[in-house]
Amino acid sequence: MAADSKSDRGDLDALMGKMKSAAAPFRETLQKLHRDHAPINSGAVASYIPELAGASPDWFAISVVTADGLRFDVGDSDRLFSIQSISKPFVFGLALEDHGREHVLSKVGVEPTGEAFNSIVLDEATNRPLNPMVNTGAIATADLIKGKDQAERFKRLMEMFRRYIGREAYVENATFLSERATGHRNRAIAHLMMNFGMIEDRVDETLELYFQQCSVLVDCHDLAVMGATLANGGVNPITGERALKAEYVKDLLSIMLSCGIYDFAGEWAYRIGLPAKSGVGGGIVAVIPGVAGIGVFSPPLDEKGNSVRGVRVCKELSERFGLHVFESGGAGKSLRDEMSPRRSGS
Ligand SMILES: NC(=O)CC[C@H](N)C(=O)O
């Protein structure tokens, strides 16, 4: 997308949150981004979970929420959909809070798989799934969530999502039941891991919890708030409530950067360079550390299970604003520093 440097500057100001009055040009940029990407008609809506097949390929939203609480929403930004795999880093964060880093890492690794999200590959040398962003590792992570019984584990999960999205979190029952009835591959994965002693023997409970976390309803704006919460050191910038201990924010972001986009993660890190997570419901959350969260929602997926429009919108935003976390300009003097009013002291 071509744009003169003057309007880029205005967009940047809005993104920086330095002047509330500069918000309008950035909103226009997002509207144009939405208009430009709406005609894309490649990709296919996920259907392996029957309930997802009813999504319209035309639903499309882009949201950005800055770490200091400015909000930008275009398109179908309040249409609810199931969070699916985007739940994975956030549940991983709760497991870290429940057990600490070393115990969690003894149960699930942090190596990219280069495999599809539902791959059955496990690290037999260390007796762990490879990372918490693929189904094996996410089921092992759900196994770690503490609670005296299933109800309490579920409540703690919902409470965690509430802190990130700033309102009560709900599971969409139809999606949950649909995946529970058809999730034979995940069931097989869980039993295989139980056989190897990678997870405890409450396998049905843990699978329920995993299917429930995937069925949490969010809209695109919620995704941006979740991303902004991570961008803001774990504190939800809209409610001011802490959702994650500050010490674990980097755990989530590093694993999102290396493993969040499955077998496209390497290319994503190279080209787009933002910690991110996608889900088969069509959502993508991306984080500009210290600056903002980005949410994109569009159900048609590419062959790797990532939203086609979502990947393209994130790529365009990253290139246009130089958002790659390793953007040249110097480690200490990066654009990110300039973009954060608090860090730059302005
Ligand atoms: N990539 C995804 O979003 C996958 C999540 C989905 N619930 C599954 O387990 O298959």
Per residue in 250-295, pLDDT (tens digit) is 999 999 999 999 889 999 999 999 999 999 999 999 999 999 999 9
Query: From CA 98, how far away is CA 87, in angstroms rounded?
Result: 17
pLDDT tens column, 189-208 = 999 999 999 999 999 999 99
C-alpha 135 – ligand 1 centre gap (Å): 7
- Residues making up the annotated binding site for substrate are 85, 135, 179, 186, 210, 262, 280
Query: From CA 330, how far away is CA 337, in angstroms rounded?
Result: 10
Residues with active-site annotation: 85, 88, 210, 262, 280
Fold adopted by 5-82+217-344 = Beta-lactamase (3.40.710)
239 within 8 A of 228, measured Cβ to Cβ: no
Query: From CA 260, how far away is CA 257, in angstroms rounded?
Result: 6
**One fold for both 5-82+217-344 and 85-214?**
yes
Query: What is the ipTM score, two decimals?
Result: 0.97
Q: Where are the domains of the chain?
A: 5-82+217-344, 85-214
| pLDDT-flagged residues of the chain (< 70) | 1-23, 329-346
CATH number of 85-214: 3.40.710.10
Which atom of ligand 1 is nearest to 279's Cα? 3
Where does ligand 1 bind, in terms of residues with CB under 6 Å?
84-85, 117-118, 135, 179, 186, 214, 279-280, 305
CA 76 to chain centre: 18
